[in-house]
Amino acid sequence: MRHFILLLSAIVPTKANGWSWSPLSPAIDGAPRVSGQTTASIIDDSNNSCSSGVLLFGGLTGAAGSPTTNDLWHFEDVTEEWTKLSPEQCPRVRMYAASAMLNSKYYIFGGWDPMDPGSGGEFLNDIWSYDMATKAWTEEEAELPFPVSRHAAVAVGEGEHGMVIIHTFKGIFTFRNGQLTEQATEGDAPDSLSMCAMTAVGNKVLLFGGSDKTQQMSSAVHVLDTTNWVWTKLQCTHDDGPGPMASACMAPLSENQCIVFGGAALAPTGYEGGYGLLPKDDTWVCTLSEKNVEWERVECKEVPEGRVAASLNSLGGDRFLMQGGYDPVSKGTFGTPWILRKT
């Protein structure tokens, strides 16, 4: 019996207390009900720790076969309300694009336009930027070298030294000053993975989970040091973190921490055309050291429903906005915004 009790204690996840989730109550049609959208936090240039809200573009408006949108939304941090913006020109509809905010411009990269049901749609390689000053979209001259979706992007640095780092299943690309460059890397890279969660912590890029082309999922945490372009696969200090999953959402918490929510695991029967996806409703704090990662499960009285392909963005001050997402079991798409805050 003693050995059995020790085994149970070894697999109970470390808990992170002092957090709470709470839903907002937007008016009818007052928030984007989408999944597979792309988002970025708007940071006040006069105070890098202060958010001016979130931009959200595109996404799928329901289950497979439902319309995909090219709507652009702004979440105002002070009022905690979404507003649909109406720029004259905008990118075509899409889902599963990648995006990042750099020097007051919101960049989107590629994605997938499903087009008519049964057509297979079209994968995209275009790059667009939305200028926060002029409130206008511009199609960039540069293009991704191949059409891609289910990739990820994040900004590192600012000003003339800032860049967007794009992770695809074929490798890393950087975008700066209007130029796209393939970036060689070394180390233990997350090759062949898509549907990963990714964020920047300082000058490092953190990537978690994902799925390969055979629908095998990963629970690994990889860190890319942008000062030397070396990947490191971190070791989990305890065997109690999230299991293999894809399409979780992630946001930075500090210089060595991030928050992760949701995603989907595989049922024992496998992928089964998406019917074998099991949505997760766990929230985790991920803490990095040079070689290791420590996971702590956030304990809250109320939590959002499990989902994939949602977005999670920092609002500053240990506050985060989670929007949208899709439940592969109920086939439901979510529209209620949720706020995670440190209490």
Contacts of 319 (CB under 8 A, 6+ apart): 51, 339, 340, 341, 342
Q: What's residue 10's pLDDT?
A: 41
Q: How far apart are CA 35 and CA 59, in angstroms?
A: 5
Lowest-confidence region among 211-215, 309-313, 321-325 = 211-215
Helix (H) or strand (E) holding 123: strand 122-131
**For residue 338, pLDDT beyond 80:** yes
d(C-alpha 199, C-alpha 255), whole Å: 11
pLDDT value of position 237: 82
Tens of pLDDT, residues 119-176? 899 999 999 999 999 999 999 999 999 999 999 999 999 888 899 999 999 999 999 9
Percent of the chain scoring above 70 in pLDDT: 92
C-alpha count within 13 angstroms, C-beta hemisphere, residue 209: 27
Phi, psi of 292 (to 5 degrees): -125, 165
Instruction: Assign 187 a pLDDT band (cuts: 50, 70, 90).
Output: very high
Model confidence band, residue 276 (pLDDT cutoffs 50, 70, 90): confident
Interval 14-47: pLDDT, tens: 667 799 999 998 655 689 999 999 999 997 655 5
Q: Where are the beta strands (DSSP E) in 77-121?
A: 81-85, 98-102, 105-113
pLDDT of residue 317: 86
Work out the number of other CB atoms within 10 angstroms of the CB of residue 89.
Answer: 9
Give CA–CA dist 180/172, Å, rounded.
Answer: 11
pLDDT at residue number 15: 66
210 pLDDT more than 70: yes
pTM as predicted: 0.92
